[in-house]
Chains A and B, each alone.
Chain A
Amino acid sequence: MNPVFAGAFAIPCAGAARYLLDEAGWRAVAGEPALRFIAMWADESAVIALLQDATGARVMATVAVEQGFFPGLSLWHPEAAMFERMIRDLWGYNAVGGTDGRPLFDYGHWRLAHPLGRPTPPFAAPEPAITGFAHKGTLALMRGKPARVAARFAARVDGRATVAHAIAYAHAVEAASRTPAPARAERLREIMGTLEIAGGALDRIGRIAEAAGAPVLQGRADRLREALARAAGAAFGHRLMMDCVVPGGVVVDVSADGPGALDALRRSVREAAVPALVEASLGGRLRDLPLVAARLAACVAQVDNGVQELGARLEALPQGAVMQASLVMAGEGIGMADGPSGGILHWLRLEGGHIGGAFILDPAWAASEACAMEVAAAAPEDRAIVRAAHGVLASGMDL
């Protein structure tokens, strides 16, 4: 434990240590170089910062919101500025000493302002939105719903990572209620997650090929993406495996046709010989774009590894139920999963089996700024490729 948390009141949260700090303690955390800032959000009358210490462990610092104000972190951690803007738009809590006063999601078009705090009528005349186009009010829609119902919203934070978000959400509910999913369900989730990552990688290869003007590679990636969607549909009943993962387990076991369909997919991927084609069609073009080349290589590896392992994993599935009901109604927890664009984290608080508060950290929060900087630094003719390699889309961050 980092010494800045010594003596602080610990709030029980499954998956991460959570401490309640006074203002002086919060500022000590802000200035502590051994703690890396990851994200920040709010709950009822409190702001929560998620940090990572030197050992890689996650720790949550909490400070009370007083009269609508809390001490901001953006002076110490520039990446906190976007979260402070979000907290003001959604909860109405203002960061004292915040470095960026612009709105992030709320441009005065909504039916009400501060939907997650104390809702008020819209605060200003509508102005053109610059960010937050895809803001759908997901967190407010989840709040007050039974955990199982709210899973539908978690599955629609980003459709390209619907399985990963559903897994992270389910893990958070299961941690909060201290009821792990059965082993067979957990293995099935891993298979679905791997398939989704391979699908996302194919999608990205296709987009990079399109941006780089490599139609043969693009066509082959798109055909494989379609084959993967069909195999997923045959095995789990939905081409994107949306709503297949829920708190407590999975709603579908692998179908009788599943192993055959996934094996056919494995053969198609092998026959397509994507790595050789990538080298032949883009090897020269990407020589001066090492970051894009590295991302593309990672995608190629994700496709190959992901699909090759599936057969063995299906055979190794443990027998038993795929669903485990929970009777625990209250608690707080963090859940994580790997998606096509990186790690996903869900935090939530259960109250009487319903969602009391939640936050969803999509990789787009970290990637959007990195992408913008890389695109700006790239030569004009390379920008489309750099953007395609990043694959940052708004929905995951806009909530």
Chain B
Amino acid sequence: MNALWQAVWHNLFARHPRAVSAARRDMTLLHRDCGSCNGCEIELRLALSIAHDSTRRGLSLASSPQQADTMLVTGPVTHNTQAHLGATWDAMPDPKFVVALGDCAIDGGVFRGSYAVAGGAGSTLPVDLAIRGCPPTARQILDALGGDTTPVS
């Protein structure tokens, strides 16, 4: 990936993935668990389930990096996953974004400083959006990711 192009891109379109993909009104998320305790996964699964009608919000999960426009990172990035995470990111086409989901993905959370943990997603990727919480609730995840937020009846 061209570093200059990436720098220009990130300065032009600050920071929310929707800033660009709003035109399409959808986001295709590639979720990578980089050492999560599975707590964020419970809330993410609920956020993307029928219980919150996520397809109407334009959110869907990709099954390969080539289909995705947004990388969703959960967990502290462990040293054992760091290389895999970088390789997956490189395989995603531009334009692409990084969402750090949960306190661990933001800065390592309670695992910060461990010999086995590199830190948050920012240790490896340029983070565009951070969603706080341990774990953030399904509603908080959807509010942060934006989109159609009319209440589901």
Q: Which residues of A contact B (CB under 8 A)?
A: 105, 107, 109-112, 115, 119, 126, 128-129, 132-138, 140-141, 152-153, 156-160, 162, 203, 206, 218-219, 222-223, 225-226, 229, 233, 239-240, 242, 393, 395, 398
- Select one of B35, B40, B46 contacting A226, CB under 8 A: B46
Chain A residues lying within 8 Å of B42, measured Cβ to Cβ, are: 159-160, 203, 229, 240
Instruction: Report B98-153 residues with CB < 8 Å from chain A CB.
Output: 110-111, 113-117, 134-135, 137-138
Contact between A140 and B135, CB atoms less than 8 A apart: no
CA distance A304 to B76 in the complex (A): 35
Contact between A141 and B110, CB atoms less than 8 A apart: yes
B39 to chain A: closest residue by CB: A159
A-side binding surface: helix, strand, loop or mixed?
loop
Contact between A226 and B110, CB atoms less than 8 A apart: no
Tier of interface size on chain B:
35 or more
Chain B residues lying within 8 Å of A395, measured Cβ to Cβ, are: 35-38
Contact between A159 and B35, CB atoms less than 8 A apart: no
- Select one of B36, B49, B78 contacting A222, CB under 8 A: B49
Assess A132 versus B111: contact at CB under 8 Å? Given A226-B46, A226-B51, A226-B138.
Answer: no
* Chain A: minimal CB distance from B135 (Å): 7
* Chain B: minimal CB distance from A78 (Å): 25
* Chain B: minimal CB distance from A240 (Å): 6
B45 proximal to A (CB < 8 A): yes
**Nearest 4 CB-CB pairings of A with B:** A159-B39, A137-B114, A109-B79, A226-B51
B91 proximal to A (CB < 8 A): no
Chain B residues lying within 8 Å of A138, measured Cβ to Cβ, are: 111
CA distance A218 to B50 in the complex (A): 9
Contact between B82 and A134, CB atoms less than 8 A apart: no
Chain B residues lying within 8 Å of A152, measured Cβ to Cβ, are: 110
B22 proximal to A (CB < 8 A): no
Assess A133 versus B38: contact at CB under 8 Å? Given A141-B111, A226-B52, A239-B43.
Answer: no
- Select one of A119, A136, A158, A229 contacting B35, CB under 8 A: A136
Contact between B80 and A393, CB atoms less than 8 A apart: no
CA distance A160 to B37 in the complex (A): 8
Chain B residues lying within 8 Å of A222, measured Cβ to Cβ, are: 45-46, 49-51
* Chain A: minimal CB distance from B123 (Å): 12
Contact between B35 and A133, CB atoms less than 8 A apart: yes
Most central of A107, A158, A159, A240 by chain B CB within 10 Å: A159
Chain B residues lying within 8 Å of A119, measured Cβ to Cβ, are: 115
Assess A112 versus B49: contact at CB under 8 Å? Given A136-B78, A152-B110, A242-B39.
Answer: no
- Select one of B51, B52, B116, B134 contacting A137, CB under 8 A: B116
* Chain B: minimal CB distance from A303 (Å): 16
Interface pairs (20), CB distance under 8 Å: A110-B79, A110-B115, A111-B115, A112-B115, A129-B83, A134-B36, A134-B37, A136-B114, A136-B116, A137-B114, A141-B111, A156-B110, A160-B38, A160-B39, A222-B51, A226-B49, A233-B137, A239-B137, A395-B37, A398-B35
- Select one of A109, A135, A156 contacting B39, CB under 8 A: A156
B17 proximal to A (CB < 8 A): no
* Chain B: minimal CB distance from A384 (Å): 13
Chain A residues lying within 8 Å of B65, measured Cβ to Cβ, are: none
- Select one of B38, B40, B46, B81 contacting A393, CB under 8 A: B38
Contact between A133 and B110, CB atoms less than 8 A apart: no
Contact between B115 and A115, CB atoms less than 8 A apart: yes
A113 to chain B: closest residue by CB: B115
Contact between B138 and A135, CB atoms less than 8 A apart: no
CA distance A104 to B78 in the complex (A): 14
- Select one of A110, A157, A226, A242 contacting B116, CB under 8 A: A110
CA distance A132 to B115 in the complex (A): 14
- What 1/0 flags go to B58-101 for Cβ under 8 Å of A? 00000000000000000110111111100000000000000000
Contact between B37 and A156, CB atoms less than 8 A apart: yes
Chain A residues lying within 8 Å of B38, measured Cβ to Cβ, are: 158-160, 393, 395
Contact between A109 and B82, CB atoms less than 8 A apart: yes
Q: Apart from A128-B83, A219-B49, what 6 extra A-B contacts exist at CB < 8 Å?
A: A133-B35, A135-B116, A159-B38, A160-B39, A226-B49, A240-B42
A243 to chain B: closest residue by CB: B134
Chain A residues lying within 8 Å of B82, measured Cβ to Cβ, are: 109
* Chain B: minimal CB distance from A371 (Å): 15
* Chain A: minimal CB distance from B60 (Å): 14
* Chain B: minimal CB distance from A140 (Å): 7
CA distance A94 to B90 in the complex (A): 39
Instruction: Report B7-27 residues with CB < 8 Å from chain A CB.
Output: none
Chain B residues lying within 8 Å of A153, measured Cβ to Cβ, are: 110
CA distance A93 to B6 in the complex (A): 46
Contact between A229 and B46, CB atoms less than 8 A apart: yes
CA distance A158 to B35 in the complex (A): 11
Contact between B80 and A105, CB atoms less than 8 A apart: yes
CA distance A141 to B76 in the complex (A): 14
Assess A242 versus B75: contact at CB under 8 Å? Given A112-B115, A158-B38, A395-B37.
Answer: no
B81 to chain A: closest residue by CB: A133
Contact between A140 and B114, CB atoms less than 8 A apart: yes
